[in-house]
Structures are given as structure tokens and as C-alpha cells.
Amino acid sequence: MMVIPAIDLQAGKCVRMEQGELATATVYDEDPVERAKAFVGAGAKRLHVIDLDGAFGSGENTQAIARICKAVDVPVQTGGGIRTLDHAKARLDAGAAAVIIGTILVEQERTARNIIAVLGDRVIAGIDARGSFVATRGWSERTPVDRDSLVKRVALWGVTRVIFTEIARDGMGEGYDIDALRAVSAAADVKITASGGARNLADLQLLAAQAPAAVDACIVGSALYKGTMDLAEAIAAVSR
């Protein structure tokens, strides 16, 4: 299983939040490039970079994303605020290997399907849910859209990978929601990256042991910043 460290950007800085609440944001690095290089130095084979300002509609961090992409020699997947094909292309032009779209899967289906048609497997579907219902716009809006139904739809549109986050677990250190991951995995034939909730190595080992085979990667964020998990040890723990 691949362990992918997360970098969340706000006003060009590296921050972390709990359950997507801006009021909980804590700045960990003034320069996210140094954090990115440290993650790669610890063995990361891929980085997960989210533009929080883009997600909340309060700005953008494209320059910071471009600096991160230029500074590391591993693929960078990036999301947050991608609402049009031009937005997606701008992230790829900045050096990203893949873009993550979320809100437009629900709010702008035609646009989402066009982005997937044009960019193919460089598009990842970010599906974030509180229980069975999808949340959008930086998790600030709960929708009536069923989580598993959306997974089925995006697979039909050509998506081959979904990043699934159970929002209630994000940043809380309670472990991944394996039951939800089983449901998402059963919904469609896609690869799944688990996100939200890892606190220590035991959480990763439990995920690797109990999650469906389709779950072949996981995103780790707060645990790395709070020091409850060492990235190099985490990679080794689930790579055996």
C-alpha cells in the first residue's frame, strides 16, 4: 500500500484542519516546499497537495503548487478549487501529475465529464462524505447526493481512481472508516485511496489488513504534523 503525505495550502502556507473547519487551521510551515522535500526525503513516492483557498473560494495557491512540483521528483496530485477545464490544465501546467475534482462532480456534471474526457486518467475523483451523504465546497456544504451512487456515476464517466474521505474522521486521529471504504469499494470497479483519520502505525496496519483489495493507497496528514506517526516508519510498515 502506498502512503501519500498531505500538504494543505492556505495563503501559501502549510496548514492542517480538523473535519475541514477553517477555524481549526494551524500553520505548520511558512514554506510548504521544505515540507514537501522532507516528505520525499523520508521516502514518499507521491504527494497530495490541496489548495484550501481554492476549495473555499477565497483565493488560490497555484504558485505554491508550482514551486512544490518543481522542487520534488515524485508525482504530485492536487485538488481544491478546480471548477473548469482551464483550472485543471493550469494545475497540470504547474507540474502536477494528476488533478482531483470534487465539488463539480455534484454541481457541474457536464464540466466534470468534459474534464475527465479530455484528461483521462490524470483526473481523480475526490469524494468526501459525512456518513452516506457527499459534502462539497471544502466540505462546507452537505448535499443530498448519496456517496455510493456518486462512486458508480464517476466510474461510468471514466474515472479509475477515487480518493474517499470520511469527513468525521479527518484530522481526528480515530483511524480510517473501513466499513465506509468497503461500501465505496463495492459500489464500482475503481481503485481507492483512503483518506481521513490515521493517527499511528496501527491505523495503517489495520487498513492494510482489513480494507478491500481496491484500497491500495492512503493519505496521511495530521499524524505527521503532530508527530504521532513517522513517515519513513509508516511506509515501511505497510510495504512489507
User: Pick from 178, 128, 181, 188: which is nearest to 158 by CA?
Assistant: 188
Separation between Cα atoms, residue 146 and residue 119, nearest integer Å: 26
Does 128 qualify as catalytic in the annotation? Answer: yes
Q: What is the DSSP letter of 128?
A: E
Separation between Cα atoms, residue 16 and residue 22, nearest integer Å: 9
Cβ-count burial of 86 within 10 angstroms (0-12 exposed, 13-18 middle, 19+ buried)? exposed
- Phi, psi of 53, rounded to the nearest 5 degrees: -65, -40
Considering the candidates 128, 170, 177, 203, report the single residue annotated as catalytic.
Answer: 128
Strand partners, 227: none
Cβ-count burial of 61 within 10 angstroms (0-12 exposed, 13-18 middle, 19+ buried)? buried
Does 31 qualify as catalytic in the annotation? Answer: no
* Catalytic positions, written as ranges: 8, 128
